[in-house]
Amino acid sequence: MRLNGKRAVIIGAAGEGNLGQVVARQFAAEGASVLVAGRHEEPLAALAEEIGGHYAIADICDEGQLAALGQAAVDKMGGLDIAVNATGWGLLTPFLDTTREELERMVALQFVGPYQFFQAMLRVMDDGGSIVQVSSATAKIMMEDHAAYMGTKAGIDHVVRCIANEFGARGIRANSVAPGFTASPMTERAARNPAVVGAFAKEYPLGRVGTLDDTAEAITWLCTDGCFITGEVVQVNGGVTLRRNPTNAEIVAAAKAAKAAREA
């Protein structure tokens, strides 16, 4: 029960089986009181009932809803010790084809939104708390056609460092976790193709791509009292940042080779 007595808010938990939901289940199993948040009531209500927790409707792009989420943590749990942002949008668009609308949406979701989420949570967080931002290995290493996603993830990582520096005097730790390719609802189509997964896996020193449980375990540990880390991006990706992601051409070639082998 590593989080016994802790009170946690997890935003980005309205997608069935996504990282936010996996983290919520693990937090609850570790003894935390958990308030899950997102834009869709039905899956949030079901998850809250399953884990014996709470839920609130909150769009990370809406400052007023984020302020209400902070107040909900106080009203429902008596305060806040942990805040996790598990939202994201995996836009894959060539650099020159990325539109202004896509850029503005990405910045709202992956930079302005997290910035204001952490502001709202810090206003109600008790001393000695922990903040975790879900980043990406691609904030450090390249992946083609992913610039808007990568840039906003890298930007909010540096904001998290600023939080760590400013709020360390209150004992509040702030870190990011950076998974690599992970079989999840966000990567569902690619994850169903063993050839695509294999193209990524061969770049991982540990020999496999990550799972949502891998990332949830790292997030849980960062929120325990025994963690003496702040202002870091923890690379929870089997060492892929020691190497690289496959190129688009390599992914396509692997998929074509697998298809040809099946048809032979």
Average of per-residue pLDDT across 26-44: 98
SS3 154: helix
Angle between helix 41-51 and 19-29 (nearest 10): 20
pLDDT digits (tens, 9 = 90+) for 227-249: 999 999 999 999 999 999 999 99
CA angle 49, 11, 62 (to 5 degrees): 120
Digit-coded pLDDT (tens) for 177-217: 999 999 887 787 788 889 999 999 999 999 999 999 999 99
Q: What are the E-state strand segments in 54-143?
A: 54-57, 80-85, 125-134
Q: What are phi and psi of 142, to 5 degrees?
A: -80, 150
Task: Say what percent of the chain tops pLDDT 90.
Answer: 92
pLDDT tens digits along 40-72: 999 999 999 999 999 999 999 999 999 999 999
**Average pLDDT of 111-135?**
98
The whole-angstrom distance between residue 110's C-alpha and the CA centroid of its chain comes to 10
pTM, rounded to two decimals: 0.96
Q: What is the pLDDT of residue 5?
A: 97
Is 80 exceeded by the pLDDT of residue 264? no
- What pLDDT was estimated at residue 41? 98
pLDDT for res 50: 98
d(Cα 138, Cα 178) in Å, to the nearest integer? 8
Domain boundaries defined on the chain: 7-185+210-241
Shortest CA distance to 188 belongs to which of 26, 18, 46?
18
What fold is seen in the domain 7-185+210-241? Rossmann fold (3.40.50)
Q: How big is the CA angle at 72 (ends 6 and 38), to the nearest 5 degrees?
A: 90
Amino acid at 10: I
Enter the tokens of residue 124. Answer: 């109600």
pLDDT tens per residue across span 79-110: 999 999 999 999 999 999 999 999 999 999 99
**Cβ-based neighbours of 21, under 8 Å, separated by 6 or more:** 13, 15, 36, 43, 47
